[in-house]
Amino acid sequence: MAPLPRGLFGLFGGSFIESIPMLVLGVESSCDETGLALYDTERGLLAHALHSQIAMHQEYGGVVPELASRDHIRRAIPLLQQTLADAQVQAADIDAIAYTQGPGLAGALLVGASVACGLGLALDKPVLGIHHLEGHLLSPLLASKPPRFPFIALLVSGGHTQLMRVDGVGRYELLGETLDDAAGEAFDKSAKLLGLGYPGGPAISRLAEFGDPAAYQLPRPMLHSKNLDFSFSGLKTAVLTVVKQHSANICEQDKANIARGFVDAIVDVLVAKCMTALKQTNLKRLVIAGGVGANAQLRAALNAAAAKRRYEVFYPELQFCTDNGAMIAFAGAMRLREEPGAARKEYGFGVRPRWPLDELRPPQAALPA
């Protein structure tokens, strides 16, 4: 196993010395990954286990919600047993259980929530519902070189594209977001148009490496708009138009050229908006979170743009860019560190498939008196 990321103590100064050490179980099941993890507030991440349903959904070209729910049911308990065994702890050692309460697929969320609440009831332990995007947002703090607050966060996942100012846990200010498709959605839909498999992000990214950057100049929507919003549906339509121009005669090199045109366009927009957000807020640290944060071209372009302006960029470890249980256990631990009463022995497991991030509040203890 890789060296353990350090615990919360040390990351946030000495205040944690007075806090009671806690072992938090994290449960993620919002879409097509079942993730379980154990985070110890003193020892860091002890273990995590993940099952991706990609192979199962591939033949349908996208996630089938009912199949996703059923698979979460099959996977959750064996993954929990594996996580406990890898961490060498007993279920009774768990102090609190954090689970993804939303947003996501209702049925899939219900599986994770019922596993968490059922376990909480059986073990007499408190549970805490976590916002999936908060998990993504805080995931770079699990890395060996975590950023300090405040920072600008670019959240780029399959369902969301948002720029945020992050001043602390639960202190998120939305600066801009997509008006239509999310960045990951644009990757997936464009990949589909090129006949690539699901999920399309990694596939179109790999193909783009073989493309000629001069072959297609695709539109860069809202690149010069004054605000920090995004729009990607026009880019997807541009991909559709060039694919149609080739009709059935499209060859592998054409596909690679179109993939390159698409990736260059989307990366240009994402990088430009991040630089504008940093400039406007006068902050120097940028954090990238969510599945598209795994994209190699985006990382290279962000690193180059940031280095030129003396900004620092932080990424989650690659394995924690896409959905996972570690980020949920960690977000739970961060909230409990500031508000130990946030986890309760209430097992109603109400999920929130739609849950705007701006409805989140900071932990109570962190509020001004």
Site of interaction with ligand KG4 (CB under 6 A): 31, 157-159, 184, 187-188, 199-202, 205, 290-292, 294-295, 322-323
CB-nearer residue toward ligand KG4: 207 or 336:
207
Which segment (9-17, 32-40, 200-208, 317-325) binds Zn ion by CB under 5 A?
317-325
Which stretches within the chain are classed as H helix?
8-11, 54-58, 65-87, 106-123, 132-138, 183-193, 200-208, 233-246, 252-281, 296-309, 326-338
Torsion of CA 73, 74, 75, 78, to 10 degrees: 110
CB-nearer residue toward Zn ion: 138 or 222:
138
- φ/ψ bin of 124: left (φ > 0), alpha (ψ from -120 to 50), beta (otherwise): left
Beta bridge pairs of residue 48: 37
Select the binding partner of residue 264 from ligand KG4, Zn ion, none (C-beta < 5 to 8 A, by kind): none
CB-nearer residue toward Zn ion: 29 or 83:
29
CB-nearer residue toward Zn ion: 182 or 342:
182
Site string for Zn ion, 113-152 (x = CB under 5 A): ----------------------------------------
CB 165 within 8 A of CB 281: yes
Select the binding partner of residue 109 from Zn ion, ligand KG4, none (C-beta < 5 to 8 A, by kind): none
Q: How far is the CB of 219 from Zn ion (least distance, A)?
A: 27
Q: How far is the CB of 218 from Zn ion (least distance, A)?
A: 26
CB-nearer residue toward ligand KG4: 119 or 274:
274
Select the binding partner of residue 258 from Zn ion, ligand KG4, none (C-beta < 5 to 8 A, by kind): none
Select the binding partner of residue 137 from Zn ion, ligand KG4, none (C-beta < 5 to 8 A, by kind): none
Q: SS3 of 194, please? A: coil
Number of residues that bind Zn ion (CB under 5 A): 2
CB-nearer residue toward Zn ion: 323 or 339:
323
Select the binding partner of residue 188 from Zn ion, ligand KG4, none (C-beta < 5 to 8 A, by kind): ligand KG4
Binding of Zn ion at residue 157 (CB under 5 A)? yes
Of the candidates 66, 73, 81, 63, the one whose C-alpha atom is nearest the C-alpha of residue 29 is 73
CB 188 within 8 A of CB 198: yes
Residues in 323-352 at the binding interface with Zn ion, rule: CB under 5 A: 323
In order, the DSSP letters of 348-362 are -----SS--GGG---
Of the candidates 114, 295, 306, the one whose C-alpha atom is nearest the C-alpha of residue 199 is 295
Q: How many CB atoms lie within 10 A of CB 234?
A: 17
Select the binding partner of residue 205 from Zn ion, ligand KG4, none (C-beta < 5 to 8 A, by kind): ligand KG4
Of the candidates 86, 76, 108, the one whose C-alpha atom is nearest the C-alpha of residue 39 is 86
CB-nearer residue toward ligand KG4: 23 or 292:
292
Select the binding partner of residue 295 from ligand KG4, Zn ion, none (C-beta < 5 to 8 A, by kind): ligand KG4
- Strands 161-168 and 312-314 come out as unpaired
Which H/E stretch holds residue 33? strand 33-40
Site string for Zn ion, 206-235 (x = CB under 5 A): ------------------------------
* Rounded alpha-carbon distances, angstroms, from residue 143 to 20, 44, 46, 246, 287: 23, 11, 14, 44, 11
Q: How far is the CB of 120 from Zn ion (least distance, A)?
A: 23
Token pair for residue 292?
């598209």
Which segment (54-62, 111-119, 123-131, 321-329) binds Zn ion by CB under 5 A?
321-329
Q: SS3 of 303, please? A: helix
Q: How far is the CB of 116 from ligand KG4 (least distance, A)?
A: 19
Q: How far is the CB of 337 from ligand KG4 (least distance, A)?
A: 24
Residues lying near Zn ion in the complex (CB under 5 A) are found at 157, 323
